[in-house]
């Protein structure tokens, strides 16, 4: 069983920003505890006196709001070091076979022309890429690999709730291959390190595509699902595929295959 923790960055309906991003950290069942412990170790190393579980929220670590724990107690250099170590843990070379990253970055203006729901497109793309990965795992190992989705319940937007409800009640088509279990689950990111890892990936993607800041993305880019040099785990939906130099578009163009 592969469990994919899902988080998002940006707002689908916000006209002030160009991008909406959804990201997933898929972890094989046996490695879930190992990755959680690796993230716990970062807190123990840098904030040894704090006994509870401090939530790693990437945007707060980068730019904490006034009056928050991170702003009041942790120097900027330390927060940046923590961010760096979270990125290393998420894309640790020794975990690469058991931790796969997925992401969808949507240029909202581009989809406006199609009249398609940005959130729904992001979710469908993310699930499709996860499903492609599970299918490949099945072919390689000759054993079925199932997938499960876990969302951050504390961040759920109204549209998310409605979409999830429509999946549950059968009013909307969920992934139909049978590899992803039909009911998504929810957890609180304050209690779940692996949702915090998904938050890091979503923030890194948002910084990459919205602001051109590659500093966080470059630490994790190797962990996006890929096969034969093509990055299948990352989808960039926008109007300039033929010239874009991001790894997702570039790897697809160099393979001389059409965008999937």
Considering beta carbons, is residue 106 or 223 the nearer one to Zn ion? 106
Cβ-based neighbours of 210, under 8 Å, separated by 6 or more: 10, 17, 18, 19, 21
Q: CA-CA distance, 83 to 59, in Å (whole number)?
A: 10
Q: CA-CA distance, 260 to 14, in Å (whole number)?
A: 27
Residue with tokens 């997938």: 147
Considering beta carbons, is residue 53 or 244 the nearer one to Zn ion? 244
Cβ-based neighbours of 157, under 8 Å, separated by 6 or more: 119
Least distance from Zn ion to the Cβ atom of residue 4, Å: 22
Least distance from Zn ion to the Cβ atom of residue 101, Å: 16
Q: Write down the number of H helices and E strands in the chain.
A: 10, 8
Q: CA-CA distance, 217 to 101, in Å (whole number)?
A: 11
Least distance from Zn ion to the Cβ atom of residue 245, Å: 7
Considering beta carbons, is residue 179 or 208 the nearer one to Zn ion? 208
Least distance from Zn ion to the Cβ atom of residue 210, Å: 13
Least distance from Zn ion to the Cβ atom of residue 251, Å: 10
Considering beta carbons, is residue 193 or 236 the nearer one to Zn ion? 236
Per CB under 5 A, residues contacting Zn ion are: 236, 244, 246, 249
Please give the angle made by the CA atoms of 204, 205 and 208, to the nearest 5 degrees.
90
Considering beta carbons, is residue 201 or 249 the nearer one to Zn ion? 249
Considering beta carbons, is residue 26 or 249 the nearer one to Zn ion? 249
Q: Kindly tell me the burial class for residue 254, based on how many C-beta atoms sit within 10 Å of its own C-beta (0-12, 13-18, 19 or more).
A: exposed
Least distance from Zn ion to the Cβ atom of residue 249, Å: 3
What tokens appear for 90 in the block?
């998420």
Task: Locate all alpha helices (DSSP H) within 74-151, ordered by sequence.
Answer: 76-90, 108-112, 118-141
């Amino acid at each position: 069983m592969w469990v994919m923790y899902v988080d998002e960055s940006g707002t689908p309906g916000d006209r002030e920003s160009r991008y909406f991003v959804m990201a997933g950290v898929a972890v094989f069942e046996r490695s879930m505890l190992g990755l959680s412990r690796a993230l716990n170790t970062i807190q123990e190393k840098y904030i040894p006196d704090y006994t509870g579980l401090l939530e790693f929220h990437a945007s707060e670590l980068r730019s904490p709001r006034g009056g928050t724990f991170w702003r009041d107690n942790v120097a900027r250099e330390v927060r940046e070091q923590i961010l760096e170590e979270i990125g290393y843990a998420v894309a640790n070379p020794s975990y690469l076979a058991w931790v796969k990253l997925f992401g969808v970055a949507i240029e909202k203006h581009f989809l406006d022309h199609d009249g398609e729901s940005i959130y729904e497109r992001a979710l469908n793309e993310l699930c499709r890429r996860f499903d492609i990965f599970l299918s490949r795992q099945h072919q390689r190992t000759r054993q079925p690999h199932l997938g499960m989705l876990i969302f951050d319940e504390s961040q759920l937007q109204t549209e998310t709730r409605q979409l999830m409800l429509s999946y549950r009640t059968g009013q909307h088509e969920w992934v139909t291959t049978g590899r992803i279990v039909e009911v998504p689950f929810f957890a609180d990111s304050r209690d779940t390190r692996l949702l915090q890892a998904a938050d890091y990936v979503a923030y890194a993607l948002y910084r990459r595509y919205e602001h051109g800041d590659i500093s966080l993305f470059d630490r994790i880019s190797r962990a996006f699902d890929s096969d034969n040099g093509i990055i299948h785990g990352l989808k960039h939906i926008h109007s300039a595929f033929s010239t874009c130099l991001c790894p997702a578009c570039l790897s697809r163009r160099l393979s001389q295959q059409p965008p999937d």
